[in-house]
Amino acid sequence: MMDNMKIAVICNSYPTRINKNNQIFIKNINDELTKLAVDCNVYYNPIFNYWSDPSSHKNIFANLIKYTFFFTGLVKIIFNIKSYQILNPHGVIFSGFSAAILKSIFKIPVILYIHGGDLNLYPSASPYYQKIYDYTINRSDIVIVNSNDIKNKLLSYTNVNSKIVRVISPGINLDHFFPLPKNKVNLFKKRYHISQDKIILLFVGNAIKRKGLDIFVDALSLLDPNQLNKIEVMFCTNGPELSKIKSKVSKLHLLHSITKYFDKVDQTTLNIFYNMATVFVFPSRDEPLGLVGLEAIASGTPVIGANIGGIPEYINDDNGILFESGNPHDLANVIKKLIDDKSQLIKFTSNLGSQHTKHSIHRSALSLKSLYEIFSK
């Protein structure tokens, strides 16, 4: 076993001083690997922090600019290439493709981590996108995916050898997400002007179509005034569809009066938000895994989750309820039941289970390190 493995981590974007939450899960697992004597050197393209339209794979000009910036940044890796035992790209397009090219030249093993977003584009993507994707995964020594859902899609869409595919969660930091004492939660509710006695419904995520915030709002609009008077809603979000969401909520006057908006926050504050919530609502139209759902459960908060992607892999009768993805009526019915029958909430609070511990970041880092050791010999 090597005491000081050096890994080149290549990713499209990474947390910065301005955008501290950008791809934070990659930074978190790198920090955990550092504790395990793995030296992770990160290479990323700053332009992705400011321009990352997920539909731009169809725009050749946009991709030409992105690749120009990205490959320019890779010059730094080439200068240090002999010091690395492993190339560990996160994502296929740009990061993974670059690593595949470097492997062809320098014969360094590639452990590719697919988080799911670019894979979901594969079926409807252009032929050149699919060729880049296929080239990248076929040059990889190991392909890591974050859920069984993504593994099944990968095996269905591509000709990847199933023997090289591993399922490893990106991991949640259990030192950051945990239940707080009730007296502290009450103090935080006072600070953030959150009701002490109402049911608090929380959404955390980007205001983009895939995250389904509009589905949540549509579901809330189906509640009657008596039910709305028993809840309060927290939206911790930002993104291109936020103004549209706010406009929609403002037209529903009673809903507007019980809704509070918060911008993206750091992980310490996010743990406070999870703890203040009675229920976390996860209405995504598609979700490779959904770390926010796991974070909520780790913080002691049950989840109402869409029955889609990787979410059903960790939601069970002890920690939440699933509803039909994309169906605001089904989501509304679940919320109504929890409002009208608080015994279900008490059951969750006393029996959340330990499903989230399988996704601890320490466990994920150990799994990654074991793969590094195999291919660095």
d(CA 168, CA 98): 22
Residue 258 lies in a domain: yes
Which domain range does residue 129 map to?
5-171+360-375
User: Which residue shows structure tokens 């989840």?
Assistant: 303
Query: Could you tell me if 171 and 25 are in contact, meaning their C-beta atoms sit under 8 angstroms apart?
Result: yes
Q: Is pLDDT above 80 for 120?
A: yes
Residue 141, CB half-sphere, CA atoms under 13 Å: how many?
A: 18
Residue 60, helix vs strand vs coil: helix
Please tell me the predicted confidence (pLDDT) of residue 63: 62
Shared domain check, 248 and 153: no
Could you give the angle at the alpha carbon of 280 between the alpha carbons of 278 and 281, nearest 5°?
130
Shared domain check, 349 and 241: yes
d(CA 263, CA 42): 27
Please tell me the predicted confidence (pLDDT) of residue 342: 82
Name the domain count of the chain: 2
The secondary structure of residue 182, as a DSSP letter, is H
Q: Is pLDDT above 70 for 98?
A: yes
The model carries a pTM of 0.90
Please tell me the predicted confidence (pLDDT) of residue 67: 64
Shared domain check, 291 and 346: yes
- The phi and psi torsions of 203 (rounded to 5 degrees) equal -120, 135
pLDDT tens column, 34-89? 999 999 999 887 655 444 444 444 555 666 666 666 666 677 888 889 999 999 99
**Residue burial 7-30, b: 16+ Cβ < 10 Å; e: rest:** bbbbbbbbbeeeeeebbbbbbbbb
d(CA 368, CA 166): 10
Residue 86: give its domain's CATH number.
3.40.50.2000
Shared domain check, 349 and 311: yes
Instruction: Provide mean pLDDT across the span 303-311.
Output: 97
Please tell me the predicted confidence (pLDDT) of residue 221: 95
Please tell me the predicted confidence (pLDDT) of residue 50: 42
Query: Could you tell me if 66 and 47 are in contact, meaning their C-beta atoms sit under 8 angstroms apart?
Result: yes
How many residues are present in the chain?
377
Q: What is the percentage of the chain residues whose pLDDT exceeds 90?
A: 71
